[in-house]
């Protein structure tokens, strides 16, 4: 059984799959409290669901892409790993959005892991499990959510020190309402960084509406 906060159909607002119709399976609970969190409503509540119940609801939307997210989905690690494998076995293109505070060992190799590295401005820097970087595959992605110019400079240094862009795609994203997207775009261009700059499409379309 997994504690599920919501399952919904929308356009992927982030990652390299941005804009694609996707079914989102949002698990309840998270061990972190990032200062910019936009899914605090998923910290508690939800409904206990079996894998069969989840799969039936996912299938009802008729989408190829499925994103398992949270909260922190790996906080329910055993059940989450089983769900990821089941989704892959049934032919879905699966991504996992994780905040990086839980080890990603055991995640099905077919899953695209979207690893959110916490910056100093997030308030959760000390919870990064750096060993997760060693598990990254070419089809995975690293995401930095940036609160300030200081966060940008920190992420730029980490990018260079660990040659992160040689491991997989790297995304720099501004915190909604804290960093101007045009500023971040200018910084990336000026520094000629090998990263993808991205804004959250779903917030442009629907604002902070849950389930979108």
Confidence (pLDDT) at 60:
98
Binding-site positions for [4Fe-4S] cluster read: 30, 34, 37
Supply the pTM of this predicted model.
0.94
* Count of positions (residues) in the chain: 212
Confidence (pLDDT) at 206:
78
Confidence (pLDDT) at 127:
96
Confidence (pLDDT) at 207:
77
Confidence (pLDDT) at 149:
98
Per-residue model confidence as pLDDT tens for the chain (212 residues): 999 999 999 999 999 999 999 999 999 999 999 999 888 888 999 999 999 999 999 999 999 999 999 999 999 999 999 999 999 999 999 999 999 999 999 999 999 999 999 999 999 999 999 999 999 999 999 999 999 999 999 999 999 999 999 999 999 999 988 999 999 999 999 999 999 999 988 778 877 777 76
Would you give the DSSP letter of residue 118? P
Confidence (pLDDT) at 38:
84
Alpha carbons 127 and 98: distance in angstroms, whole number: 12
Contacts of 22 (CB under 8 A, 6+ apart): 9, 10, 11, 12, 63, 65, 66, 67
Task: List pLDDT tens digits, range 97-122.
Answer: 999 999 999 999 999 999 999 999 99
Do the Cβ atoms of 176 and 204 come closer than 8 Å? Answer: no
Confidence (pLDDT) at 100:
94
User: Could you name the CATH architecture of 2-206?
Assistant: Alpha-Beta Barrel (3.20)
Binding-site positions read: 11-13, 26, 30, 34, 36-39, 69, 71
Confidence (pLDDT) at 202:
75
Q: Taking the domains of the chain in order of start, what are their residue ranges? A: 2-206
Token pair belonging to 195: 């990263």
Confidence (pLDDT) at 205:
80
Would you give the DSSP letter of residue 166? G
Binding-site positions for S-adenosyl-L-methionine read: 36-38, 71
Binding-site positions for Mg(2+) read: 39
Binding-site positions for substrate read: 11-13, 26, 69
User: What phi-psi label fits residue 191: left (phi over 0), alpha (psi between -120 and 50 degrees) or beta?
Assistant: alpha
Token pair belonging to 58: 């996912």
């Amino acid at each position: 059984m997994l504690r599920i906060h919501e399952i919904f159909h929308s356009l992927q607002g982030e990652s390299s799959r941005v804009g694609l119709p996707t079914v989102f399976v949002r698990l309840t609970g998270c061990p972190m409290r990032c200062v910019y969190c936009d899914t605090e409503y998923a910290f508690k509540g939800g409904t206990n669901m079996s894998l069969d119940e989840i799969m039936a609801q996912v299938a009802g939307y008729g989408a190829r892409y499925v994103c398992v997210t949270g909260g922190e989905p790996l906080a329910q690690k055993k059940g989450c790993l089983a769900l990821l494998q089941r989704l892959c076995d049934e032919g879905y293109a699966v991504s996992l959005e994780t905040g990086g505070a839980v080890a990603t060992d055991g995640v099905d190799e077919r899953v695209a892991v979207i690893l959110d590295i916490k910056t100093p401005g997030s308030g959760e820097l000390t919870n990064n499990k750096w060993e997760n970087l060693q598990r990254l595959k070419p089809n995975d992605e690293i995401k930095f959510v940036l609160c300030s110019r200081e966060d940008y400079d920190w992420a730029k240094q980490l990018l260079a020190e660990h040659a992160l862009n040689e491991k997989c795609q790297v995304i720099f994203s501004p915190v909604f309402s804290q960093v101007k997207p045009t500023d971040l775009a200018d910084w990336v261009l000026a520094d000629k960084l090998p990263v993808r700059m991205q804004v959250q499409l779903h917030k442009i379309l629907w604002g902070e509406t849950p389930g979108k």
